[in-house]
Copies of this chain bind each other. A is one copy, B any other.
Amino acid sequence: MIPNGKLRILPLGGLGEIGKNMMLIQYGREGIIIDTGIMFPENDMLGIDYIIPDFQYVVDQMAQGNLVVHGIIVTHGHEDHTGAIGHVLDAIPVPVYATALTAGLLEIKMLQFGHADHPLHVFKAGDVLTLGPFTVETFHVCHSIPDGVGLGINTPIGLVVHSSDFKFDHTPVDGWPPDFAKLAEFAQRGVLALLSDSTNADQEGWTPSEAVIDKAFDQVFAQAQGRIIVATFASLISRIQQVAQAAQRHNRKMAIAGHSMTEYIKVATKLGYLNLPKDLLVPVDRANKMPPHEVVIMATGTQGEPSAVLGRLAWGQHRQLEIERGDTVIMSAHPIPGNEELVHRTINKLIQRGAHVIYHPIAQVHVSGHARREELKLLINMLRPKFFIPVHGELRHLTQHSLLAQELGIPPQNIAVVENGTEIFLTPDRLEVGERVPGGYVFVDGKGVGDVGPIVMRDRESLGRDGFVSVLVLIDPHTRELLEPPEIISRGFVFWRDATELMIMAQELIAEVVRTHKQGNLTLAIQDALAKLFYTETKRRPMTFAFVREVRGEVVPV
């Protein structure tokens, strides 16, 4: 149970970014959860599929009767806000609330985790949700997926506004600008606290409108002689709409390559967020037979993923499509930090195959979905919150956002920059940073959720760097001689077939150790001796293991 009369804001794990994937808002024993997202592994998190927030603390608090969760509100349909819904509902089976597009995308994930019948309530931006003691006024925000909402959370101690991921786009593709009126109304009523998106808090100026992309597309489409292939995120519905419109303006038909984008387009079209005229779309195999200058192909793979459509095109491994000299490829997305190498490799490969590749900074074929500093200032100054809590960004972004808020006159003691798992308490008069609750984030690897921990990760790192050597040592207990030359299996260390000299040295060393070993653990003695030999000879440190047995009798290889 938390202290009386205090509102607790608890950003839950997630990697690097704070409060983005999952957040608990709690008053007394009553709470709501905002978002249930995943994060993608960093380059040195070998073998990890994705990462989910560690919400065990919430589960424990519920089990102990300290917390009742009245619902989960998902603010928009991006993976880092929706992707963990199945895992969360397994443990916290409470009603889910989302706008139509977000709900459509959540449904697919809930189905995969056997939660098809779980209560999923669809609301419209502007609707008011009553969840326990919280009256949540939803309001439309612009972002890089349609139908995102921010939240005006009326709590017993005052109004807390959560911006969600947003930008102030005056000319969005869907013609639905940000709900400034609602923000003004919040301001009139008085805002206790603002939680605001910090992703671009170190970027000066104002993020360009999605509309600028139309101009860039027109320029590229006008110049392209052959096919055009536009790669973007499957979820970037507005970009798909923009490509469709550019295709129509330039008399091209549009084909969709790839499963995930087809899925998103299906959901978005069904729900009315995407308008693709029937006579615009053609199947990929028909597009293949049309004159190149009449075709646009939409694809995924802007992050250099080798298994996505663009990756397969770059490496010449797509089933239906092949890059041809004269193709123009538009990379309509920025590399997510960490993906730069793969993205650049993909671009180089596409060029190698004869494509003309358009990417940032060559042309403005992508804009961010997140507000920059001038927009962040506008939001703060429209709402004039008493307390300010930067969220959705790494610590460095939150720090910059905090400095920006201070420039606008919010006193430092009214601002909390915390990391995931650190609770913030609000009263009408005070903001306090509380304890760090147990937990962090959880690796998902295949079927395993959380079973891969630091030890396995360290072993993977070591194996990835230097490989391993495994040996079988069978000894005659009477003579202390080897019953057979030790069999050695090694991978990732040296190319064993070329390393016969090293293998013979290893075998001789094992025989020597067995012969001269007096006391202690022989297996460890063999492993240590081999490790030293390998390091001396190669300056590498493969993991080294020995199976050692004494055999009274005869050994037959199988």
Contact = CB atoms under 8 A, between A and B. Distances in A.
Given A46-B465, A361-B204, A451-B498, A549 B474 contact: yes
B466 A47 contact: yes
Contact of A538 (B448, B453, B459, B467): B448
A155 B390 CA distance: 63
How many chain copies?
2
Contacts of A539: 446-448
Contacts of A465: 46-47, 460, 464
A540 interface: yes
A55 B11 CA distance: 54
A489 B545 contact: yes
A352 interface: yes
Interface stretch (A118-126, A131-139, A175-183, A337-345): A337-345
A552 B551 CA distance: 9
A16 B470 contact: no
Interface string A529-552: 000000001111001010111111
Given A340-B340, A341-B338, A554-B553, A46 B448 contact: no
A347 B553 CA distance: 63
A547 B547 contact: yes
B459 A461 contact: no
A248 to B, nearest CB: 28
Interface in A29-71: 42-44, 46-47
B341 A477 contact: no
A553 to B, nearest CB: 1
Contacts of A271: none
A44 B543 CA distance: 20
A129 interface: no
Contacts of A347: 394-396
Interface of A is mostly: mixed
Nearest to A356: B399
Given A477-B556, A550-B558, A551-B555, A361 B203 contact: yes
Interface string A466-483: 111010101101000000
Contact of A352 (B202, B395, B455): B395
B553 A549 contact: no
A216 interface: no
A470 B467 contact: no
A538 B452 CA distance: 11
Interface string A483-502: 00001010111110011000
Nearest to A468: B468
B551 A448 contact: no
Interface size class of A (residues with CB under 8 A): 35 or more
Contacts of A477: 556
A357 interface: yes
B348 A394 contact: yes
A453 to B, nearest CB: 6
Interface string A381-423: 0000000000000111001100000000000000000010000
Given A453-B495, A551-B556, A351 B545 contact: no
A557 interface: yes
Given A338-B341, A344-B16, A362 B400 contact: yes
Nearest to A470: B470
A505 interface: no
Given A395-B352, A547-B472, A556-B550, A495 B451 contact: yes
Contacts of A461: 464
A380 to B, nearest CB: 19
Contacts of A466: 47
Contacts of A396: 344, 347-348, 351, 357, 359
Contacts of A451: 494-495, 498-499
Given A474-B549, A495-B452, A549-B555, A47 B540 contact: yes
A503 interface: no
Most chain B CB neighbours (cut-off 10 Å) among A345, A459, A466, A537: A459
A308 interface: no
Nearest to A42: B341
A468 B469 CA distance: 11
A468 B472 contact: no
B351 A395 contact: yes
Contacts of A474: 549
Contacts of A512: none
Given A463-B468, A467-B459, A552-B556, A540 B352 contact: no
A553 B550 contact: no
A523 interface: yes
A91 interface: no
A470 B558 CA distance: 17
Interface string A285-300: 0000000000000000
6 contacts: A362-B400, A446-B540, A448-B539, A463-B463, A470-B545, A472-B472
Interface of A: 16, 42-44, 46-47, 202-204, 337-338, 340-341, 344-345, 347-348, 351-352, 357, 359, 361-362, 394-396, 399-400, 419, 445-448, 451-453, 455-456, 459-468, 470, 472, 474-475, 477, 487, 489, 491-495, 498-499, 522-523, 537-540, 543, 545, 547-558
